[in-house]
């Protein structure tokens, strides 16, 4: 999917919602446990109910990988079921030396046909560039995460006065461009998103941590939006586990619709 196409979807749906498919066999309703592929059946119903309000779906690969080969089959079926006009994100946080990253790119862009994959920056340019060689595919690079451990290295101050995450943004933004790279930017610190926006004004940000992880959507939009929205804000548990019984689909729909409504207001306030 191109940046233009993504922006058009955002305009059509008045939404920059990404639904995180962190689908856990222990958390899906009991009536689904009896079907042949409970993970896929759950995802299918979540997608049916939320596709009107979501511009992206983000399966968290660990949840599928933990189930062995069967999990990968559920993932493939889920990906095939995501409508083609909705952006798909493999939240895999891969990254290795060049030829190995090339194989991860093959896994997620050829064997599977994801639009994008999250990538870790520690190993530098050759761990990222193989993903950038695919047309209309995207790298979503970890820049500033919102977990506890983000304080360990991402904020370490360099001799040049910059924190490590800033060095990651400045260097990596030259490896690709706003048409094939996005950044993971955590939502727990609103003003930090503003600082990142100044460094990379054009790139899309994938923002985890709104909802269950505690960030404020209003702050994210205020500090992070650019003239083409430039945001995909993820919610996983808050949507997919909104209902615990046979109503899980309609409850997920309500939550997604609610977030879309808030996003519509923010788009009109900060973007158009």
Q: Which residues are catalytic?
A: 93
Q: How far apart are CA 216 and CA 235, in angstroms?
A: 12
Q: What are phi and psi of 83, to 5 degrees?
A: -55, 145
Q: Is 107 in the site for a copy of itself (CB under 8 A)?
A: yes
Q: Is 244 in the site for a copy of itself (CB under 8 A)?
A: no
Q: Which is nearer to a copy of itself, 104 or 138 (CB)?
A: 104
In sequence order, what are the beta bridge partners of 116? 89, 138
The torsion defined by the Cα of 251, 254, 258 and 259, in degrees rounded to 10, comes to 60
Q: Residue from 14, 29, 44, 67 that binds a copy of itself (CB under 8 A)?
A: 67
Q: Which is nearer to a copy of itself, 118 or 260 (CB)?
A: 118
- Judge whether 244 and 230 are in contact, CB under 8 Å: no
Least distance in angstroms from the C-beta of 2 to a copy of itself: 25
Q: Residue from 50, 88, 101, 180 that binds a copy of itself (CB under 8 A)?
A: 101
The DSSP code sequence of 193-252 is HHHHHHHSSSSEEEE--BSTT-B-HHHHHHHH-BTTB-EEEEESHHHHTS--STTHHHHH
Q: Is 113 in the site for a copy of itself (CB under 8 A)?
A: no
Interacting positions 21-40 with a copy of itself (CB under 8 A): 22
Interacting positions 37-66 with a copy of itself (CB under 8 A): 60, 62-63, 65-66
Beta strands in 60-156 (DSSP E): 87-94, 116-119, 138-144
Side-chain half-sphere CA neighbours of 245 within 13 A: 1
| Torsional class of 51: left (φ above 0), alpha (ψ -120 to 50), beta (otherwise) | alpha
Q: Which is nearer to a copy of itself, 44 or 93 (CB)?
A: 93
Q: Residue from 122, 191, 198, 272 that binds a copy of itself (CB under 8 A)?
A: 122
- Judge whether 266 and 221 are in contact, CB under 8 Å: yes
Interacting positions 123-152 with a copy of itself (CB under 8 A): 123-128, 142, 145, 147-152
Least distance in angstroms from the C-beta of 80 to a copy of itself: 13
Q: How far apart are CA 18 and CA 187, in angstroms?
A: 14
Q: Is 95 in the site for a copy of itself (CB under 8 A)?
A: yes
Tokens of 246: 């046979």
Least distance in angstroms from the C-beta of 114 to a copy of itself: 13
Stretch that binds a copy of itself, among 39-47, 80-88, 121-129, 256-264 (CB under 8 A): 121-129
Q: Which is nearer to a copy of itself, 125 or 265 (CB)?
A: 125
Binding track over 165-204 against a copy of itself, x by CB under 8 A: --xx--x---------------------------------
In sequence order, what are the beta bridge partners of 233? 17, 207
- Judge whether 116 and 88 are in contact, CB under 8 Å: yes
User: Could you list the residues that contact a copy of itself (CB under 8 A)?
Assistant: 22, 60, 62-63, 65-70, 72-73, 76, 91, 93-98, 100-101, 103-104, 106-107, 110-112, 120-128, 142, 145, 147-154, 156-159, 161, 164, 167-168, 171
């Amino acid at each position: 999917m191109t940046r233009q196409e993504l922006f058009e979807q955002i305009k059509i749906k008045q939404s920059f919602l990404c639904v995180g498919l962190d689908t856990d066999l222990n958390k899906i309703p009991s009536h689904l446990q009896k079907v042949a592929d409970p993970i896929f059946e759950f995802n299918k119903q979540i997608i049916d109910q939320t596709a009107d309000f979501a511009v992206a779906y983000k399966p968290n690969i660990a949840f599928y990988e933990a189930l062995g080969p069967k999990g990968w089959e559920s993932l493939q079926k889920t990906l095939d079921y995501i409508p083609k006009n909705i952006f798909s994100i493999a939240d895999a946080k891969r990254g290795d030396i060049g030829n190995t990253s090339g194989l991860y790119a093959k896994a997620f862009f050829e064997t599977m046909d994801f639009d994008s994959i999250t990538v870790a920056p520690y190993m530098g340019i050759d761990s990222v560039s193989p993903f950038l060689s695919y047309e209309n595919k995207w790298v979503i690079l970890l820049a500033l995460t919102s977990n506890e451990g983000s304080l360990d290295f991402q904020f370490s101050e360099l001799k040049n006065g910059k924190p490590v995450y800033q060095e990651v943004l400045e260097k990596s933004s030259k490896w690709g461009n706003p048409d094939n790279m996005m950044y993971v930017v955590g939502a727990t610190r609103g003003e930090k998103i503003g600082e990142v926006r100044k460094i990379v004004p054009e790139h899309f940000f994938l923002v985890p941590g709104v909802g269950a992880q505690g960030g404020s959507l209003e702050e994210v939009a205020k500090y992070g939006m650019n003239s083409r929205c430039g945001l995909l804000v993820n919610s996983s548990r808050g949507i997919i586990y909104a209902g615990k019984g046979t109503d899980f689909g309609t409850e997920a729909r309500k939550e997604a619709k609610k977030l879309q409504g808030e996003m519509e207001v923010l788009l009109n306030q900060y973007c158009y």
